[in-house]
């Protein structure tokens, strides 16, 4: 287009010189034709803008992240003039369309159309626009260019993806199976087990350790309680959609993957998050998981929700300290998170923090404290390949 404009400018200046020094009908006719040419091109762009038709369709409006769905779009010229130089641009930040290049230029003869069938994949959970974003039109002489936003975009609601985990590398599954009360430490038949990092040294059985030559700690016996807790931070990390969508998508993906993993093993899982107060959802088997999934899909992240307030409210609920394993799904490593981890350690609760963000520093303060694990997860990471 730039080359054509340069050629046009040279020709127009040449015609202007011609009528200035030579005159005559040929020079004036050539000058008039070149002068009116941009107006004709502009009129053509206006005609295409008002009469060109574009249609697009998806199989369903409630989609699942990272799942393929058929996508169709049609370009139609219903009039007696040919359309040329038409390009369609697609939304690409949160979705991808396979097999189509938005740099392709289409030409439509009078009364014809072009139909394309392909697949669309939404990357993240949330509500946003997909498909054709804008249309670009050029005139026949490639002097003028018009780009306009598609008047009928597709707005979809995307649910988080379900990732099936075969195992958890960050924990011993047996840790979820028992949480017991302490027997009287003065009794002679106190049960013991080997010391593990994070155990309360005040419960160390020194006499038994001396006899066996190994560090042994008094074993908790009594009433068993099964299950895990997940604390999900629902504070929005940014006001920019392109920044918060990937983070929120991965946080819900992690939460659902953990809940489904334990539901498959009939282990009670309780989820706590902030939504105008602490909300708790539970699932204990696969029969209950569909309802749990729909509840998680509806979780809203808010800018006015702070991680500090959420964790402070959660710490006031004594039931979260009765579990054996706690998952914290957060996108920030804050002082409030460290305080919660200290509380969990003091109550003999093994904590696993899933930190969801890109470019996580290696030297986070308190990241290596006993009795906890830190799992770093990027927004584009495959959960089946990270150390979860």
In a shared domain, residues 56 and 153: yes
The predicted pLDDT at position 188 comes to 39
Q: Could you give the CA distance from residue 27 to residue 9 in angstroms, rounded to a whole number?
A: 16
Indicate the number of domains in the chain: 2
Q: Which phi and psi (to 5°) does residue 191 adopt?
A: -75, 145
Q: Could you give the CA distance from residue 180 to residue 348 in angstroms, rounded to a whole number?
A: 10
Q: What is the mean pLDDT of residues 139-156?
A: 89
Q: Which of 159, 190, 213 is the last residue of a domain?
A: 159
pLDDT at 213 > cutoff 80: no
Q: What is the mean pLDDT of residues 280-306?
A: 93
The predicted pLDDT at position 337 comes to 92
pLDDT at 186 > cutoff 50: no
In a shared domain, residues 106 and 244: no
- 92-128 pLDDT, tens digit per residue, is 899 999 888 877 888 888 888 889 899 999 999 999 9
pLDDT at 169 > cutoff 70: yes
Residue 134 lies in a domain: yes
* pLDDT top residue among 8 and 69: 69
Question: Do residues 345 and 370 make contact, with C-beta atoms less than 8 angstroms apart?
Answer: yes
Residue 355 lies in a domain: yes
Q: DSSP 3-state assignment of 279?
A: strand
- 225 confidence band (pLDDT: 50, 70, 90): very low
Question: Do residues 99 and 5 make contact, with C-beta atoms less than 8 angstroms apart?
Answer: no
Q: Could you give the CA distance from residue 307 to residue 335 in angstroms, rounded to a whole number?
A: 10
The predicted pLDDT at position 192 comes to 66
- 329-367 pLDDT, tens digit per residue, is 999 999 999 999 999 988 888 999 999 999 888 888 878
Q: Could you give the CA distance from residue 67 to residue 158 in angstroms, rounded to a whole number?
A: 10
The predicted pLDDT at position 130 comes to 93
In a shared domain, residues 69 and 151: yes
In a shared domain, residues 356 and 244: yes
In a shared domain, residues 253 and 365: yes
| Strands in the chain per DSSP E | 53-58, 62-64, 68-76, 83-90, 95-97, 106-108, 113-122, 126-130, 132-138, 145-149, 154-159, 192-194, 216-218, 228-232, 269-274, 278-283, 325-330, 350-356, 372-377
pTM: 0.79
- 173 confidence band (pLDDT: 50, 70, 90): low
In a shared domain, residues 153 and 251: no
Residue 312 lies in a domain: yes
- The percent helix, strand, coil of the chain (3-state, each to 5) is 30, 30, 40
The predicted pLDDT at position 121 comes to 95
Residue 349 lies in a domain: yes
Domain containing 88 equals 50-159
What's 141's domain CATH number?
A: 2.60.40.10
In a shared domain, residues 116 and 237: no
The predicted pLDDT at position 221 comes to 47
Question: Do residues 8 and 144 make contact, with C-beta atoms less than 8 angstroms apart?
Answer: no
What's 277's domain CATH number?
A: 3.40.50.410
The predicted pLDDT at position 338 comes to 92
Could you give the percent of the chain with pLDDT greater than 70? 90
In a shared domain, residues 232 and 130: no
The predicted pLDDT at position 18 comes to 85
Q: Could you give the CA distance from residue 89 to residue 87 in angstroms, rounded to a whole number?
A: 7
Q: Could you give the CA distance from residue 151 to residue 108 in angstroms, rounded to a whole number?
A: 20
Residue 193 lies in a domain: no
The predicted pLDDT at position 177 comes to 53
Q: In Å, how far are 3, 33, 260 from 324, measured between CA atoms?
A: 71, 85, 18
Q: What is the mean pLDDT of residues 65-82?
A: 90
Could you give the percent of the chain with pLDDT greater than 90? 44
Give every CB contact of residue 110 below 8 A, 6+ residues apart in sequence. Answer: 77, 79, 80, 81, 82
Question: Hey, how many other C-beta atoms are within 10 angstroms of the C-beta on 300?
Answer: 12
Q: Could you give the CA distance from residue 225 to residue 326 in angstroms, rounded to a whole number?
A: 14
């Amino acid at each position: 287009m730039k080359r054509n404009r340069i050629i046009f400018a040279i020709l127009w200046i040449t015609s202007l010189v011609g009528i200035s020094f030579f005159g005559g009908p040929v020079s004036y006719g050539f000058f008039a034709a070149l002068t009116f040419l941009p107006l004709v091109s502009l009129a053509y762009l206006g005609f295409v803008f008002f009469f060109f038709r574009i249609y697009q369709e998806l199989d369903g409006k409630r989609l699942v992240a990272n799942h393929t769905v058929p996508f169709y779009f049609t370009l139609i010229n219903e009039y007696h003039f040919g359309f040329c130089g038409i390009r369609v641009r697609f939304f690409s930040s949160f979705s991808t369309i396979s097999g189509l290049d938005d740099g392709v230029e289409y030409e439509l003869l009078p009364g014809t159309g072009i139909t394309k069938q392909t697949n669309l994949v939404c990357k993240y959970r949330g509500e946003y626009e997909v498909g054709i974003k804008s249309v670009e039109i050029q005139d026949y002489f490639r002097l003028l260019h018009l780009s306009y936003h598609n008047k009928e975009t597709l707005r979809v609601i995307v649910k988080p993806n379900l990732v099936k985990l075969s195992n958890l590398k960050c924990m011993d599954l047996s840790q979820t199976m028992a949480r017991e009360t302490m027997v009287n430490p003065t009794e002679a038949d106190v049960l013991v087990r080997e010391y593990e990092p994070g155990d309360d040294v005040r419960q160390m059985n020194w006499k038994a350790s001396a006899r066996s030559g190994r560090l042994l700690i008094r074993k908790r016996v009594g009433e068993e309680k099964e299950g895990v807790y997940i604390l999900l931070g629902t504070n929005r990390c940014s006001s920019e959609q392109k920044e918060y969508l990937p983070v929120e998508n991965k946080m819900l993906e992690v939460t659902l993957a953990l809940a489904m993993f334990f539901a498959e093993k009939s282990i009670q899982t309780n989820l706590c998050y902030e939504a105008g107060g602490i909300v708790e959802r539970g699932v204990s088997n696969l029969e209950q998981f569909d309802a749990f999934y729909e509840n998680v899909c509806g979780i809203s992240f808010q800018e006015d929700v702070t991680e500090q307030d959420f964790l402070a409210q959660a710490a006031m609920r004594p039931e979260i300290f009765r579990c054996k394993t706690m998952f914290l799904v957060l996108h920030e490593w804050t002082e409030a998170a460290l305080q919660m981890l200290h509380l969990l350690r003091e109550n003999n609760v093994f904590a696993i923090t899933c930190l969801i963000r890109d470019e996580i520093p290696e030297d986070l303060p308190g990241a290596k404290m006993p009795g906890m694990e830190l799992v770093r997860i990027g927004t584009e990471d495959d959960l089946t390949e990270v150390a979860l």
